[in-house]
Amino acid sequence: MLRKARIGDVKTIHRMINVSSGKGEILPRSLMDIYGNLRDFFVYTDEEQNSLIGICAMSIIWENLAEIRSLFVEESRRKEGIGRRLVEACISEAITLDLYRIFTLTFQVEFFSRLGFEIVDRSTLSEKIWTDCFRCSKYPDYCDEVAMILEL
């Protein structure tokens, strides 16, 4: 089941992000950051096991730009369309807020291409530099994520 994240989900979201960041799939986020941005997150739950199996966040970057970030689906549940549903929920929320430029920094180029995202030069996303990138240990010389954008 897809839903917005709740306070009780924070520690599980944090664990999922840490597992994924340990594999180099996404960037780590602090527990404080997750609490502060909880409203950005959608979660996908396994109702039978009453557990989170996927997460994704949509963050507002600027008046005309949103970011899809922290996408993670448990490995045993990948290839079931859960990631797609999470990203589509984030895109829908961005549209509801009149945000029609949505980007991601990702290693999953094929996945986001299937959702309509196109590769762009990171320099076209200058607003992003002032939010998270400058705090990243890979910034500016070692960033190996691919910048992709969806313009609606």
- Domain boundaries of the chain, sorted by first residue: 2-151
How confident is the model over 15-39, as pLDDT tens digits?
999 999 888 888 888 999 999 999 9
Contacts of 95 (CB under 8 A, 6+ apart): 152
Two tokens at 115? Answer: 């959702």
Contact indicator for 33, 10 with CB cutoff of 8 Å: no
How confident is the model over 68-124, as pLDDT tens digits?
999 999 999 999 999 999 999 999 999 999 999 999 989 899 999 999 999 998 778
Number of helices (H) and strands (E) in the chain: give both, helices first.
5, 7
| CA 57 vs CA 94, 95, 140, 142: distances in Å | 11, 14, 23, 24
Fold of 2-151: Aminopeptidase (3.40.630)
pTM: 0.90
Q: Are strands 2-4 and 146-151 parallel, antiparallel or unpaired?
A: unpaired
